[in-house]
A and B are shown apart, each in its own frame.
Chain A
Amino acid sequence: MSQQSSRAGGLFGAALMSPIGILYLCFLLLPIGFFLSLSFFTYSAQQMYVAEPTLDNYSRLIFDGYYRRIIYDTIRVSLVVTVITLVFGYALAYFLTRVKSTWRGIMMFLIIAPLMTGVIVRTYGWIVLLGTDGLVNAILVWIGIVERPISMLGNEKTVIVALVHIMLPYMVFPIFSSLVAQDPHLVPAASTLGAKPLRTFFEVTLPLSRSGIVMGSVIVFTMTSGSIVTVELLGGRDMTMMGQLIYQLILSTFNWPLGAAVAALLVLCQFIMISYYFRKMRRAY
């Protein structure tokens, strides 16, 4: 495509995008921007906030080890969940491209099906499975791996397992699309040139699915770092993530300035991750 026509396409695209752009600006960006700006206001018990500029909310979050720990945990858990989801999600997506189309339809449905129930219902499902009298414990005791039911709720590992389960579809589909979009002749081409299957995968298939990997990871990281319900219900008191803190500060403590500061830091973390990922995705070809 020539320079000129692509510029005209850009203008046309911008025209097409403008209604949704204005909608986003008015009903998403402006309210969010306004809300985040509250983080520079002073908290007041009576009026919730007064318009005296301050950095106290941020310094409280950054210099208090308790809050720093929550921020650190949020990033750490989100990264761990993203990486695990990526490994499983990639394997599943790759498998999907390999199975016959009838099976593929059934499998896709099975992957999407959990999305049809709410995250709360799925989280309760995990409680039922992992509870002291739950299925997993029953099996463990029956097999004899443990003598008596073990406590699997209220810890970080359980939260990570559940989050991976919840996030999996968001990883599978972008990767799946990036895999099916690949020229099917590339793998045979590499193979006739002397590349064995594993080599072909790492030299051709994997690098060409980078956009799917980046998309999936961005979605999963962003959603995980903002998750509330799953962490709350499965993490117990051992785990607090930024989403819960925001929820508590906004809806129960009514400390909006501090809540806004946590939200701003969360958005900042997500923004840093997203820009890092997208830098990785930028490509010369």
Chain B
Amino acid sequence: MQLALTLEKIVKRYGATTALGPIDIDVRQGELLTLLGPSGCGKTTTLHIIAGLTTPTEGRLLLNGRNITALAPPYRDIGLVFQNYALFPHRTIAENVAFGLRMRKVPKAEITVRVRAILNVVGLPNVEERYPNQLSGGQRQRVALARALVIEPSILLLDEPLSNLDALLRKKMRLELREIQQRLGITTVFVTHDQDEAFEMSDRVILMNGGHIEQIGSPEALYDSPQTRFAASFIGEASLTPCTIAQVRGDDVVADLGGGMTIPAKAVRPVDGVGSQALLMARPERVTLSEPNATDALPMTISKRVFQGERILFELTAANGHAFQCSVPSIEKYREMQPGLNVGAVLHECRVIPGA
């Protein structure tokens, strides 16, 4: 596997405050890698360091094996799409897209051809003579993408490019962006705070928090095996309950939640042994409901009901006071269930995060 970009022990400090790092990231050739995290987690700083807009305090950046740490942005081979697109308002679409090519002294005739070609790729023919303010948000987004892509950069950086679009368009653009990225096979680093975006588009996701990396992995791995309390709570919905390890067999464990309640689970990494503290994670969609005294079912009471349309969310409370979320399809059987009802709950595929 070839590495396109490597961040080695990158640190960014402002005075005495460390804003980022030290972090290490390897970006593989042709992949779409997402930096995911809440605002202030350092994802945009990381992106700006890659683009050269921010100078790291420590560490090295290697692009295709070349050390680019000290290079100014114009000399890096990188395309960047800004959150607000940053199109030049005084230039036509064609001039905007041609900008990078002109800076690279590409012959005029070739510029015309390449601009037209890339506008076709992003699905925007026949807008060359218009100005940015004559286009819709989605169209501008595509122009910004075309402008970054036309210079055929080694790496494409996307800074929350979909956050200024309305919800419907955003969903459509996710797929389109991913489709273009895969068609061109361009290595891409994508920054977002939206996990749906991250999951739908990425090959790998880097979850960041407070200036450091929480977890790196495929979307499935992040969802299925969060390694930290933050990862478990940030990604997807989860009921997190402190527990004690009661039995261990390989990565199969039994978690004791107190009050006689024990739940079989899988440890996301080896536990410290019987009696150690851990965190039990139960995903709401993996909870099934049955009669109060069914076998294997834990007796619980519905304490809250939220109707979401296609699904219904219940909050269940166990006798020992622990609460669990349960998400079920909006079918007749569940629609009739109201708070106060006693049910039996089965928590499938629970995970145990040791030490958290």
Complex: A in contact with B (CB within 8 Å) = yes
Q: B100 contacts A208, CB within 8 Å?
A: no
CA distance A33 to B323 in the complex (A): 83
Measured between C-beta atoms, what is the minimum distance from A279 to chain B in Å? Answer: 16
A284 within 8 A of B: yes
B190 contacts the other chain (CB 8 A): no
Which one of B83-91, B215-223, B264-272, B336-344 is at the interface?
B83-91
Question: For the complex, is A7 an interface residue (Cβ under 8 Å from B)?
Answer: no
| Residue in A closest to B72 when the chains form the complex, CB atoms | A191
B90 with A191: CB separation less than 8 A: no
Size category of the binding interface on chain B: 20 to 34
| Chain A nearest Cβ from B128, distance in angstroms | 14
The A interface, classified by DSSP as helix, strand, loop or mixed, is helix
The stretch from B74-82, B163-171, B239-247, B301-309 touching chain A is B74-82
**Closest CB in chain A relative to B156 CB, distance in Å:** 11
Q: How far is the CB of B68 from chain A (nearest CB, A)?
A: 13
**Contact status B133-A285, CB under 8 Å:** yes
Question: CB-CB < 8 A to A185: which residues of B?
Answer: 82, 84, 86
In the docked arrangement, what's the CA distance between A53 and B79, Å?
71
How many A residues touch B, CB cutoff 8 Å? 20
Selected contact of A193 from candidates B72, B103, B131, CB within 8 Å: B103
Other-chain contact of B76, A183, A192, A207, A284 (Cβ < 8 Å): A192
Given contacts A188-B73, A285-B89, contact A194 B132 (CB under 8 A): no
Complex contact B99–A193 (CB within 8 A): yes
Q: In the complex the two chains form, is B90's CB within 8 Å of A283's CB?
A: yes
Question: Which residues of A lie under 8 Å from residue B72 when comparing CB positions?
Answer: 191, 196
**Do the beta carbons of B89 and A193 come within 8 Å of each other?**
no
**Cβ of A189 < 8 Å from any Cβ of B?**
yes
Which A residues, 187 to 203, have Cβ-Cβ distances below 8 Å to chain B? 188-196, 199, 203
Q: How far is the CB of A117 from chain B (nearest CB, A)?
A: 39
A-B contact pairs, 19 of them (CB 8 A): A183-B86, A185-B84, A188-B73, A189-B82, A189-B86, A190-B99, A191-B72, A192-B78, A192-B79, A192-B80, A193-B79, A193-B99, A193-B148, A194-B74, A196-B74, A203-B99, A285-B89, A285-B90, A285-B131
